[in-house]
Each structure stands twice: as C-alpha cells, then as structure tokens.
Amino acid sequence: MSQIWISAAGLCGATLIGAVLGFLIKELPHKWNDTVLGYCAGIMLAASTLGLIVPAFDMTSSTTWWIVVVGVMAGALFLNVLDLVTPHLHHITGLDQEEHRNNKSLNHILLFVMAIALHKMPEGMAAGVSMSTTEIDWSVSLGIALQNVPEGMVIIAPLLVAGVSKIRTMVISLAIGLLEVVGVWIGFGLGSVSLTLLPVMLGFAGGAMLYVTSDEMIPETHAHGYQKQATYALLLGFMTLLLMDKLI
C-alpha cells in the first residue's frame, strides 16, 4: 500500500515543482515566452500521442481499436464545447465575469489549463493499474512524473499573466495535481476492470490534448513573430519526452 502513496505523491509533487518553476518565469518577454510555450507544446504533443493514444491502442485488439478513435474524437469535441463555456468560469479565477467575456486570451488560457487537468485522471489511473499487478512497474509513474514538471510549469505563467492571483493560481495547480492522486487510487482499486475502461479514457485525454495543442498553443507561439524558434522549441520538447520514454 505504501507504494501507491509514493506513486501518487510523486505525480502530484512533480506538478507542484513545475508550478514553482512557473512562478519564477512569469515575467519572461514574448520572445522567450513563445519559446517556452513551444517547448511545452512539444511535450504535450508527445505526451498525447506516445503517452496516451499509442498505449491506448496497445491495450485494444484488432476488433476493439475503434474505441480509442472514438475516445480521441470525443476528447477533441469536448474541448471544443468547453471553449464555449470558459467565459462562465469566472468563479474559478476570481476575476470579474465581464472580464472573462472581453478577454479572449484568458479564455484560451483556461481552455489550455482545462485540457491539462482533463488528462490527469487517466494518467493517474495508468499509474495505478501498473501498481495493481504482482510485479510493480515503476517506469509508468516515473515517466508521468517527469512529464508533469513542464506541464505544471506551463499552467502557472499564463494564469499569472492573465491577472489571476498567486494564491488562487497555486490552488488551481494543487487541485490539478490532486486529480492525479485520485486517478492513481481509482486505477489501483479497479485493477483489471480498468483495463477495459482505460483505453477509452486515455484516448479521450489524448484527443483533448491534441486539440488544445493545435488550436491554442501552436497558434499562440506563432502570433508574435517568433514562430521559427517556437517551432524548434516544439521539436526539442517532443524529442525530450521521446528520449525520456526511450531511456526509461
């Protein structure tokens, strides 16, 4: 049982470490902000494909692969619909409702944050399932924890720049980290049953991440004249997670 707590604490702690780093880089100029965001877009691109969608397909058979495709498209559609309700999330940010309506950038940021939050639960479940077997596989938890650091970092800076208070921003980051803790325990508790549910959830989360990476993150990094270095940063971020997956 202690291994489950270690895994859960590690995943949540990695997100909080990234959040602390996010506090340190919130004053970056556009040039470097686009570069960091491009790097994180690469991380999310790799995480959604290599960390979520590919493993989901590996869990299916030649007759059930379609459930992953449905999950991916449903995740993208969910984020598309969520884009319509982000102006109503003023209670989460603590900002005025009118500011949400008139601040398109803030709504994009919230959509991005929601996409990260959305995939924390199935990620945690994946780690929990790996802990429920007779031979515990620590590589899953370690890989997710390493990925959580840049993800936690990229949550913080945009929210602070948008005007959300430091305390509320940290609470949002902590809540997102705790989602993964819940996911670990759900995955561990469901055991073999979650092996049926997990491919759909992983595909759903992967589709959501792909949607927000393509629709929000990449266009934002190309909007201020620094698209070349943002593109190379994206490739570097993608290769970073690819190498981490290879080494682990």
pTM, to two decimals: 0.69
Residue 162 lies in a domain: yes
Task: Write down the residue that tokens 């049926």 correspond to.
Answer: 196
Asked if residues 14 and 209 have their Cβ atoms less than 8 Å apart, the reply is no
Residue 25 lies in a domain: no
pLDDT (0 to 100) of residue 47: 78
Residue 192 lies in a domain: yes
Report the SS3 class of residue 63. coil
Q: What total number of domains does the chain contain?
A: 1
Residue 167 lies in a domain: yes
Angle at 77 (CA atoms; ends 104, 221), nearest 5 degrees: 40
One-letter amino acid for residue 167 of the chain: I
Residue 131 lies in a domain: yes
Asked if residues 131 and 7 have their Cβ atoms less than 8 Å apart, the reply is yes
| Sign for the pseudo-dihedral over CA of 242, 214, 159, 87 | negative
Residue 154 lies in a domain: yes
pLDDT (0 to 100) of residue 68: 92
pLDDT (0 to 100) of residue 88: 46
pLDDT (0 to 100) of residue 59: 84
pLDDT (0 to 100) of residue 85: 62
Task: Write down the residue that tokens 């884009």 correspond to.
Answer: 83
Relative orientation angle of helices 194-212 and 66-85, to the nearest 10 degrees: 50
pLDDT (0 to 100) of residue 174: 87
Can you give the residue range of the structural domain that contains 96?
Answer: 2-20+30-247
pLDDT (0 to 100) of residue 217: 76
Question: What is the residue-level pLDDT of the chain in tens, covering all 248 positions?
Answer: 677 788 888 888 888 888 888 777 666 666 777 787 788 788 878 878 887 788 889 888 888 899 999 989 998 888 777 666 655 444 444 555 555 454 555 666 676 677 677 767 767 777 776 666 555 656 667 767 877 787 787 777 677 766 777 888 888 888 888 888 888 888 777 665 666 777 887 888 788 778 878 877 788 788 778 889 999 999 998 998 788 777 76
Residue 171 lies in a domain: yes
Asked if residues 178 and 15 have their Cβ atoms less than 8 Å apart, the reply is no
